[in-house]
Structure 1
């Protein structure tokens, strides 16, 4: 029950935190993740928190990343890694390939999934 309450609170918080969107040319767009900066929505970029939730809910199963308890078990054992999740997200067109080398993004994804394990 605590797990469900935690997930619903985090999901609600991520929905309530909406940043304004401004049009940018491709050259103006910075696709690296920096948690200190407000993030703008982009159809080609999914936040690490959203990607963690999508992974947990099984959205990347067709890309080879199990969801729910199997995700947490695979993550704990090291069979599923942040880079594996990002690669699946790249294949699903959720993030750009540059995210594979973005340590901040990978760290935020790792922290979010580890939070799932604790609850």
Structure 2
């Protein structure tokens, strides 16, 4: 629970205070702090779900937009599948596949996406 809270908080803070990301990461335990990817970019769970939703992982077999939502709801796409796709693109290190905190944060972001999309625009 604490890991999920920390990862979620980090996601929110990284968008609110982009200049403080390095400072925040320096205080996070190694189990939560990301390892560098080959490209230097490593998506946080929020960014990974958005990448998938926008269709950036189609070549890895992850559909975008409504099809992603439908496949996730039907159980054809799991959070681990999104992580595997990002590993295949080189955006995440393979070690993320064993990082249950990261995978749980992806699951949480997928649920948030589903809830937000059911509400529709301007219904918050």
TM > 0.5 = yes
Q: Which has the higher helix share?
A: 2
Residue 15 of structure 2 corresponds to 15
Normalising to structure 2: TM-score of the pair? Answer: 0.67
Runs of 5+ consecutive residues of structure 2 not aligned to the other structure: 1-11, 24-29, 117-124
Residues 16-35 of structure 1 mapped to structure 2, 5 A cutoff: 16-18=16-18, 19-21=20-22, 30=30, 32-33=31-32
**Could you tell me how far 1:78 is from its partner in structure 2?**
0.7
Instruction: Check conservation: 1:21, 1:40, Cα contact below 8 A.
Output: no
Residue 102 of structure 1 corresponds to 99
Instruction: Check conservation: 1:49, 1:112, Cα contact below 8 A.
Output: yes
Q: CA RMSD in A?
A: 2.7
Map Cα deviations across residues 10-41 of structure 1 (whole Å, 9 max, x no partner).
Answer: xx97533313437xxxxxxx4x436xxxx798
Runs of 5+ consecutive residues of structure 1 not aligned to the other structure: 1-11, 23-29
Q: Distance in 2 between matches of 1:54 and 1:110?
A: 14
